[in-house]
Structure 1
Amino acid sequence: MNWYVVYAQAQKELVAYQNLVKQGFAAYLPRYRKNCRHARRVYAVMAPLFPRYLFVRMDPTSQRWRSINGTIGVSYLLSDGPAPISIPDEIIETIHAREQDGMVQVMPPAFIKGQKLAVTDGPFTDLQGIFECVEDDHRVILLLDFMGRIVRTRLPGHAVTAA
């Protein structure tokens, strides 16, 4: 049996997970602790590690996998033509290895305020900026000199490196 990727409806990852389990599929929804702010309050919630994505383990030759596309909360099973696309077990094992108490432990990038960083991925690739801080969702706030102005930019932690 292999792991496959399910693309869920927006904000319906948990609904999709619960319905896949009810149908007898082995599903996996990796989540992490995310700090949210509302009305001057800060509280922690369990959020999907990969928004709109979850994983299902199945054997497409013996299981009725096409029912996944009709599951409440699911948009579709990622496929290449008529066949679903499997992913290596090592990916799921790596995510499982970082779990503690049912939550994936996500470490923010370790940069120092004022440190020069280079953008390595995305539309600002090859630009350099000054590190300001890391937000609760582990996005890096970077001050970029862009078109003669200093622009405060939010980037994923994996998209920057020390310059």
Structure 2
Amino acid sequence: MSTVSEAAWYVVQTHVNAEAKAARNLARQGFEIYIPRYLKRRSHARKIEKVAAPLFPRYLFVRVDMATQRWRSIQSTIGVSHLVANGSDPIPVQRDVLGLLKAREDERGFIKLDWRPKFSLGEKVRVLAGAFADNFGLFDGLGDRDRVAVLLDILGRKVRVSLEADVVSAA
């Protein structure tokens, strides 16, 4: 009777902002790594840019064959906090999870997030950043691309403004 061992994906928790460091060190040991990333909007010094960021901060996926690989070395890898486990037994990720994540990647390997707002027409919203930060308004529909239309009360009248969708939240 022969047993066929098969590699599975597991979750590793990393130290704060150490996903790349942990991934490099795990890859050096021969493990296959996957860090799902997306383009995050960042405002800095009056500039707005999109930067790559981990979809799950402090977490990455590692593929391990428990029967043939020295998986316990993961625990002492620089950048790694621990392998997610139930007691001392690492918990494998369901088979379709990584496939579903990879299916949402664009041509550059970034996860495409559903940017469409979850607001209803006329719902009260709050502007989080930009020239209208901390103002409240009413959701007035979708604009072009990643923008939404919001009715703001400016100088005693309703003014329709077009804003980036990610700077507006439910009030």
With normalisation by structure 1, the TM-score equals 0.71
Q: CA RMSD in A?
A: 2.2
Secondary structure at 1:66's aligned position in 2? Answer: helix
Identify the residue that residue 135 of structure 1 maps to in structure 2: 166
Which string of whole-angstrom CA distances, capped at 9 and with x for unpartnered residues, describes residues 28-52 of structure 1? 0000001111110112210000111
Deviation at 1:112, TM superposition (A): 4.8
* 1:93 aligned onto 2:80: no
Distance in 2, matches of 1:28 and 1:10, equals 17
Q: Pick one of 106, 116, 119 that aligns with 1:109.
A: 116
Distance in 2, matches of 1:115 and 1:109, equals 15
Matched residue type, 1:99: E
Matched residue type, 2:66: P
Distance in 1, matches of 2:110 and 2:64, equals 23
Matched residue type, 2:122: G
Structure 2: runs of 5 or more not aligned: 1-6, 126-137, 140-149, 151-163
With normalisation by structure 2, the TM-score equals 0.68
Distance in 2, matches of 1:115 and 1:98, equals 29
Q: Pick one of 15, 31, 40 that aligns with 2:21.
A: 15
Structure 1: runs of 5 or more not aligned: 118-129, 144-163
Which string of whole-angstrom CA distances, capped at 9 and with x for unpartnered residues, describes residues 5-56 of structure 1? 0001111111111111111001100000011111101122100001111001
Identify the residue that residue 38 of structure 1 maps to in structure 2: 44
Identify the residue that residue 125 of structure 1 maps to in structure 2: none
Identify the residue that residue 24 of structure 1 maps to in structure 2: 30
Distance in 1, matches of 2:40 and 2:64, equals 30
Identify the residue that residue 121 of structure 1 maps to in structure 2: none
Secondary structure at 1:135's aligned position in 2? Answer: helix
* 1:60 aligned onto 2:66: yes
Structure of greater Rg:
2
Matched residue type, 1:107: D
Question: Residues 27 and 33 of structure 2 are in contact (CA less than 8 Å); yes or no, is this contact kept in structure 1?
Answer: yes
Matched residue type, 1:63: Q
Secondary structure at 1:141's aligned position in 2? Answer: strand
Question: Residues 124 and 170 of structure 2 are in contact (CA less than 8 Å); yes or no, is this contact kept in structure 1?
Answer: no
- Overall identity of the aligned pairs, in %: 44
